[in-house]
Structure 1
Amino acid sequence: MGLIYADIELFNADDKALARRGYLPEAEVKRLNIRALVDSGAYMLSINDETKTQLDLAILDKQTVELADGSLQEVEIVGPVDIRFENRWTTARAVVLPFSTDILLGSIPMEDMDVLIDPKQQKLLVNPAHPYMAQKPMKNVCGYPRWITPAWSNYLRVGNSGKPMPMSRLAPFQS
């Protein structure tokens, strides 16, 4: 399998929020059309200093990352960045790799956009099983906090009296 690139559009998400609220004209939202290297081995969106400057992204954090060669490097985490590929959108934070020339589209934004890598055609595709809208598994969403397992939910419903507890009494626990 060779290198796979995808045409994506990056936006300064803070600018988009200001434009949505009427504080910034839509034409002034910072955006870039770029060709990104699709890298399922990378977790996040990785950009270079030039892209960070062009989008005027805020530094949110500094972290140490392990590069492909095994070396450790302290990097800036910037954002928020809106990423668009075809009919899919996601908002992410980005790692700034100062000496990089390629923009890397990592696995987390790809998974959030529900896109697939097609090694035969050597391209990034919108998931054909969900062509119109991204689909995500949300198995822990049930009205209880995630720490409440099915066994706990039975206890909360019954309580230690053995009688069913009204679900309205669970209101403080619901997220």
Structure 2
Amino acid sequence: MAGMGLVYAEIELVRGADVVLAQEGFIEPEQIRRCTVQALVDSGATMLAIPEIVRSQLELRKTREIEADLADGSSVSLDVVGPIEVRFQNRRTFVEAIVTPNSTTVLLGAIPMEGMDVLIDPKRQRLIVNPESPEIAKMMLM
């Protein structure tokens, strides 16, 4: 699903607090709040960015605020929410997300991509699991 050089991937976003509650036996796994979205994949972006509608659907709590610089040179204060578990194929990672109130696009940045050990396949213009570690995510520890 690529158009004009943009790469999109279907990912699942899961409310991290619900995952913990289910693991501890306080809620049933079926009660975990989640949504499946088409995300714009951008390894040049840092974090996961979600629109307000996703924040509301998953009932994510604000953890902090950040100052973000925009392309026009201005800056804006944005909420950071989480934790969110991001799932793609056989991969998952926990991250925070920036809430972009005037957007409808989910943006998958470098931090969640590295956490899941996934890559952009430039030839096919799609997100893939790292072929060098297809069964389990791999990362370098310094």
TM-score range, shorter chain: over 0.9
Q: Which residue is equivalent to 1:114?
A: 117
**Alpha carbon RMSD of aligned pairs, Å?**
1.0
Pairwise mapping of residues 38-117 of structure 1 onto structure 2 (< 5 A)? Answer: 38-117=41-120
Higher strand share: 2
Name the % identity: 47
Pairwise mapping of residues 7-46 of structure 1 onto structure 2 (< 5 A)? Answer: 7-46=10-49
Higher helix share: 1
Partner Cα distance (2:138, 2:29) in 1: 29
Of 93-102 and 59-68, more deviation after overlay is shown by 59-68
Partner Cα distance (1:126, 1:97) in 2: 27
The one-letter code of the counterpart of 2:83 is: P
Structure 2: 5+ residue runs without aligned partners?
none
Q: Which residue is equivalent to 1:166?
A: none
Structure 1: 5+ residue runs without aligned partners?
140-175
Using structure 2 for the length normalisation, give the TM-score.
Answer: 0.94
1:88-134 CA distances to partner (integer Å, 9 max, x unpaired)? 11000000010011100000110111111012101000000110011
Number of residue-to-residue matches in the alignment: 139
The one-letter code of the counterpart of 2:56 is: T
Greater relative contact order (Cα < 8 A, sep 6+): 2
The one-letter code of the counterpart of 1:57 is: L
Aligned-residue offset at 1:137: 0.5
Larger Rg: 1
Matched, 1:131 2:137: no
Pairwise mapping of residues 149-160 of structure 1 onto structure 2 (< 5 A)? Answer: none
Aligned-residue offset at 1:34: 0.6
After the TM superposition, which segments of 4 or more aligned residues of structure 1 sit over 6 Å from their partners?
none
